[in-house]
Chains A and B, each alone.
Chain A
Amino acid sequence: MNTVEIKNLVKTYGDTVAVDDLSFALKQGEILGLIGPNGAGKSSTIKILLDFMRPDSGEVRILGQKMGEALKDRIGYLPEERGLYKRLTVIELILYLASLKGMGRNEAEERADRLLQRTGMYEYRDKKNKEMSKGMGQLIQFIVTVVHDPDLIILDEPFSGLDPVRTAAVQAIISDLRDRGKSVILCTHQMDKVEEICNRVLMMHQGRTLLYGDVLETRKQFRRNTVRVAAGGEIGDLPGVLERRPQNGAVELVLAPGSSPQAILDRLREDGIEIQHFEIVTPQLRDIFLELVGGEK
């Protein structure tokens, strides 16, 4: 059973089409990276998923059901802009919001303490939220999002403002959730994170799907017959190479149609060049994103 299934979703605001015939599915134990430029329709999609607003047409099913009040306890949501009840302590806030998700106090407290320890926030457990820095507040909100052990977690920019140590802690928790069969939608501009932890990627632009599929497969699809070579000596002219791009002590060779990476490798060996590194270049999501969005524009 898919955790999320969206079919032909459309949402308009006046003359503006925010979401245009969007369809995708998210399986159990998967992390879907939802990426796209500002105004791509990501927020509208999330708001429709959460039943904050209704679509003009299309079908949304979460955990096999139409979204409704009964499903809210099984979903965790971290909005992009975050705030806390400043007068409450960290633990009071977590327990209150966990109780609204139908969680018992003892269980919530036990899980909250574990998550606070894991994120290095335990020492602030009984401090007021108004004393927290922006990054700490973000961690608290992240804990609030997952404390009730939801089946579907929707995270909007969970890493922004976090230092590398806390980023790693949050990333590890997200990966654990996936490994335990939870489904995650990760909405972010940090595409390196999508490459690191997401199974699938959905790229949106102007409300439409630009790209949807397995992260590794997608990157492979966008390979441009380019190899990256780091060599001990000078690489001379090679047949079948259209362009050379120096890059951090290496060189990227753009191959002509019909020329293969194996032929280039053989030629370098024949020339007696010491090869330190040889790689068929797989583009990063960032490059694919720029290529596709640039092309659209």
Chain B
Amino acid sequence: MNKLTLLLKHEFVQAIKKPAYIITTLFIPVAMLFSVGVIKLVEILNDANAKEALVIGYVDQAGFASQPMEEGLTRFVPYNSPQQAKAALVTDEISEYLIIPEDFLETGIVARFTLEKELFTPLATTQAIKSFLDLNLIQDRIPPETITRIISPFQIEVTRLDKDGEISDNQANLGNILITGVYAFLLTMTFQTASGALISGLGEEKESRLIEVLYSSVSVRQLMVGKILALGVAGLLQVVIWLVSAVLYLRFDAASAGILSQVQISGSFVALAVVYYLLGYLLFAAMSVTLGGITSSASEAHNFSMIYNLTCYVPIWLISVYINFPNSPAWVALSIFPITAPIQTLIRLGVGDVPAWQLGASLGAMALSVVGAIWFAEKVFRIFMLMTGKRLGLKGVIQGLREA
């Protein structure tokens, strides 16, 4: 086994055995499992409640609700006076009652009386009351088929056409946004976990002078490449575990499964997702190595790393703005700026097309910045990793680089 392989194996095993790695890797699947449990519990409880018949009394002082209504398990029962309705409620004949006042048509206010302590009227009850009032307001005035359209107006079904007027193979859908959004978020987390692990590992070796023992055995390049690759593989393993658990989660969640059935992930998207992961990871790793080299301690390096760690979250913070205004030039800029490029471009690819020149500019800018960052990191690694406990400052860094 050559030295690089030995370093890679050692660093990988040490990385995946760290409690922080194990906890972050398992946290997302466990959180998803927990949310599946909560969703199922809520569904079970809702089903149990729904099976109970809801009998709503009403007193029509406005004089328009002549039509009692029975739909599913909900039944509306008329009463002549509030006293009669109240008596029926306290004797459990009805679940609750409404008073529709004389001026309802002007104010739209309905008084609701119940024995339950509720912050808000349950959604199912609100819908039942609305249907009851709608029906009574428009019946006998409008044809029955029109009534249905008023109560349940319309659904928009969007079809995307290509330039030739044919139905496009690449239709925008919520499932795609969901998947790319989740992937972008996981990617960000992986960059940050790996960057943090690199800074901590280098800090430990720098502060304990183990780095000198390693330097006396392997080259600077082998040491740096071994560390970066090992943590990259560990990060990739983490992403795979998270994605597999996300897919399993979506299979359990019926609502998401419906959305997921619309998902269209192309081969080119998968390829670009991998390329952006690699480029993004290498950029973050190189920046972390540089910080590890020029700062006096791991904690100081962690503080400085917040600058690029928070910057890469910008596309995720702005995702709702992007969905509403997808054609702003700001998204093009964020797709080309290397720190935000992986996340922003993947989000854009999930929602629609990204022009080829923009994709080329984004990948080119990233590739150039990765090459530059690795070159600089290697230089810094060689010059500054042996300096422990020294606060260099910008002047010290420039002087060190000049003297190298």
Contacts and interface: CB of A to CB of B under 8 A. Distances in A.
Interface string B187-216: 000000000000000001101111011111
Interface of B: 1, 3, 6-7, 10, 14, 17, 204-205, 207-210, 212-219, 383, 386, 388, 399, 403
B207 A87 contact: no
A172 interface: no
Interface in A56-99: 69, 72-73, 75-77, 79-85, 87, 96-97, 99
A198 B216 CA distance: 24
A50 B399 contact: no
Most buried by B among A47, A79, A80: A79
A141 B216 CA distance: 13
A191 B207 CA distance: 28
B217 A87 contact: no
Interface of A: 13-14, 47, 50, 52-53, 69, 72-73, 75-77, 79-85, 87, 96-97, 99-102, 141, 144
Nearest to A105: B1
Given A100-B6, A100-B217, A87 B14 contact: yes
Q: Interface centre among B212, B215, B403, by most A CB within 10 Å?
A: B212
Contact of B209 (A50, A73, A83, A97): A83
Nearest to A88: B14
Q: What's the dominant secondary structure at chain B's contact region?
A: helix
Given A14-B399, A79-B209, A83-B208, A101 B17 contact: no
B105 to A, nearest CB: 76
Contacts of A80: 209
Contacts, number: 60
Among B7, B205, B209, B219, max chain A CB count under 10 A is at B209
B213 A97 contact: yes
A50 B205 contact: no
B209 A100 contact: no
A122 B7 CA distance: 26
A22 to B, nearest CB: 19
A82 B216 contact: no
A101 B2 CA distance: 10
A99 B6 CA distance: 8
> Which of the listed residues B215, B388, B399 has the most CB atoms from chain A within 10 Å of its own CB?
B215
A72 B209 contact: no
Nearest to A43: B386
Nearest to B383: A53
Contacts of B208: 81-84
A50 B17 CA distance: 32
21 contacts: A13-B403, A14-B399, A14-B403, A47-B386, A52-B212, A52-B215, A53-B383, A53-B386, A69-B218, A72-B216, A79-B212, A81-B208, A83-B208, A85-B14, A96-B10, A97-B213, A100-B3, A100-B7, A100-B217, A101-B217, A141-B213
Contact of B386 (A52, A76, A85, A144): A52
Given A72-B218, A96-B10, A77 B210 contact: no
Given A13-B403, A47-B386, A83 B215 contact: no
B399 A79 contact: no
B217 A85 contact: no
Residue picked from A13, A72, A80, most chain B C-beta under 10 Å: A72
A133 to B, nearest CB: 15
